[in-house]
Amino acid sequence: MNENHRRSASELLEPKQRRRTRIGLVSGGLGAYWPQFPDLLPELQASARYVTERFTRLDAEVVDVGFISDAQEAGLAAEKLRLADCDLIVVFLATYLTSSMVLPIAQRAKTPVLVIDLQPTEAMDHATFDTGKWLAYCGQCPVPEVANVFRRAGIPFRSVSGYLRQESAWDRIIQWVHAAGVRSTLRNARHGLMGHLYPGMLDVSTDLSSVSTTFGSHVEVLEFDDLRERVNQVTDAQVADRMLLAKQLFQIDVSVNDEDFAWSAKVSVGLDRLVADFDLDSLAYYHRGLAGEQHERLGAGMILGASILTARGIPMAGEYELRTSIAMLASHAIGAGGSFTEIQALNFIDGVVEMGHDGPAHLAVSARDPLLRGLGIYHGKRGWGVSVEFDVTPGPVTTFGIGQDPDGRYVFITAEGEVVPGPLLAIGNTTSRVDFGGDPGVWVDEWSQTGIGHHWALCLGHRAGDIKAAASLLGLEHRHVSLGGR
């Protein structure tokens, strides 16, 4: 990259600001122990302070309601957590406590609960320990009890067992915090839906009420007229500024003509206004158009602006793919990017699935400077103009889509693979070659059996665990396709 000319998206683009993930935290043990073993409570409270400190390091707001010792204190803590409107409540079992101290927290708060039990060290010193010192290691003791009571109450049970400074245990805890971030983002999201269904794509059709009832999101139904009027208000100076920004973000291929570039820049500024006016967190769109009329030109001119917005954390999906724009937003919430993707072809010599799409792309997944390429035609769509092209960064990736079952329930669907280098089409698409650890034809068959639709989000890293945890917090099923043990 020419450092004097182009800078990264993170330097140039202001990210979308959202409500921080809110984690409720309560620690506890059985108060009957305190008069019997005077040194026990101070040790447990020190462990609780360490747990609180670890949570405050995360990118989350922590609501710590303190240490509880009996059911009465548990009731008071439950009320505080109910009022806090948390995305996840974490109960730290510092030693044995009764299930009557945990159940009201889950029942009253009506928020997903994670139980953690982290003993002070890897193992007890059996030669020197008495009963009081042993009880500091007894947080695992009530886990089956609490799990049983949650099951009988119809409350999903989740737990992480380990020791206080065990990083692998904290990795599992952090995975639940990431999942809470997805829950927070989706239940507060405003999804835009503009235009109409791509003709004939029955899988893309989505019941808007089910989005709100499943995730708590709002769906704002927009017209291309809403975009048209905002684009009409864009000034020549704003177009010039946006073209300058694009030149800093992208390489400009010789195939891009000035008229199409200027039009895409103008639509980009109008898109920014549309997103701001309706306070959108995502947007799915499509318009077919006819004979070069303005709505057709708007639809064809959106790729530059949509890619810029996606890089800011406001994902855009073409072809009216609302469920995929939601998956892209969830991917962004766990810091995994999330680029609009479909299958392009299979390479049986190299054992890879070739994936990509024309339209909006997430600049965070690019292996090289993204390219703006001029296209005389978009495949299967009317219009012409500027498209974004780049290769996906080699390394671990996750495909993540939202399927829908016959009863209307959504399901989170994932597969993990590796992007490997090799030949790619230069047709104005985001493209990648993904090795899923087996026959690519078998992968397509297994992937298609899950209920996935035509499109999904391509995420950086192996993130199926985070997405599985997010599905749990949202009350959804998670399906994972794995070949070769991946």
Q: What is the pLDDT of residues 333-371, one digit of tens each?
A: 999 988 889 999 999 999 999 998 766 777 777 767 788
407: its two tokens: 């009863």
Helix axes 224-232, 258-278, angle to 10 degrees: 110
CA-to-CA distance for 106 and 87, rounded, in angstroms? 12
Of 168, 194, 274, residue with least CA distance to 230: 274
User: In terms of Cα–Cα distance, which of 258, 484, 452 is closest to 355?
Assistant: 452
Average pLDDT over residues 81-109: 96
- 287 or 90: whose pLDDT is higher? 90
Give the CA dihedral 435, 440, 444, 445, nearest 10 degrees. Answer: -140
Please state the rounded mean pLDDT for residues 27-51.
97
Quick check: 63 and 86 in contact, CB under 8 A? Answer: yes
Q: pLDDT class for 4, splitting at 50, 70, 90? A: very low
Confidence bin at 428 (pLDDT 50/70/90): low
Amino acid 3: pLDDT: 39
Distance CA 176, CA 231 (A): 42
User: Which range (53-62, 106-115, 246-255, 382-391) has the least confidence?
Assistant: 382-391
- Return the percentage of the chain with pLDDT > 90, whole number: 75
Mean pLDDT, rounded, for 83-109: 96
Mean pLDDT of 107-125: 95
Count CB neighbours of 456 within 10 A.
Answer: 30
Instruction: List beta partners, residue 392.
Output: 366
- Residue 51 Cα to chain centre, angstroms: 25
Average pLDDT on 382-402 reads 82
Mean pLDDT for 403-422 is 95
Mean pLDDT of 259-279: 96
Buried-state track 354-366, b at ≥16 Cβ within 10 A, e below 16: bbbbbbbbbbbbb
- Quick one: which of 445, 398, 443, 393 has its CA closest to 421? 393
pLDDT at residue 382 is higher than 50: no
**pLDDT score of 379 more than 60:** no
- Phi and psi based region of residue 419 (left: phi greater than 0; alpha: psi -120 to 50; beta: remaining): beta
Does 146 or 425 have the greater pLDDT score?
A: 146
Q: In which band, very low, low, confident or very high, does the pLDDT at 373 lie, cut at 50, 70 and 90?
A: confident
pLDDT mean over 314-319:
92
Neighbour-count burial of 319, counting CB atoms closer than 10 A to its CB (0-12 exposed, 13-18 middle, 19+ buried): buried
CA-derived radius of gyration, the chain = 25
What does the mean pLDDT of the chain come to? 91
The pLDDT value recorded for residue 118 is: 97
pTM of the model: 0.92
pLDDT on residue 365: 75
Give the residue from 86, 88, 77 showing the smallest Cα distance to 115: 88
Q: Residue 243 above 70 pLDDT?
A: yes
Q: Which pLDDT score is estimated for 178?
A: 96
Matching residue, tokens 């049986």: 348
- Across the range 92-121, mean pLDDT stands at 96
Q: Which residues are CB-neighbours of 188 under 8 A, at least 6 positions away?
A: 18, 19, 216, 217, 281
- What is the model's pLDDT at position 485? 55
Q: How confident is the model at residue 378 (pLDDT cuts 50, 70, 90)?
A: low
Task: Please determine, for residue 175, whether its predicted confidence score (pLDDT) is greater than 70.
Answer: yes
Neighbouring C-beta atoms of residue 69, cutoff 10 Å: 18
**What is the model's pLDDT at position 211?**
97
Average pLDDT over residues 202-216: 93
- 4-13, 64-73, 108-117, 292-301: the lowest-pLDDT one: 4-13
pLDDT of residue 432: 86
Q: Please state at what angle helix 236-249 crosses helix 303-311, rounded to 10 degrees.
A: 60
Q: Is the pLDDT of residue 204 over 80?
A: yes
Yes or no: say if 90 and 59 are a contact pair by the CB < 8 Å rule: no
Give the confidence band of 6 by pLDDT, cuts at 50, 70, 90: very low
CB 251 within 8 A of CB 369: yes
Domains and CATH numbers, the chain: 22-186 (3.40.50.10940), 188-481 (3.20.14)
pLDDT at 2: 37
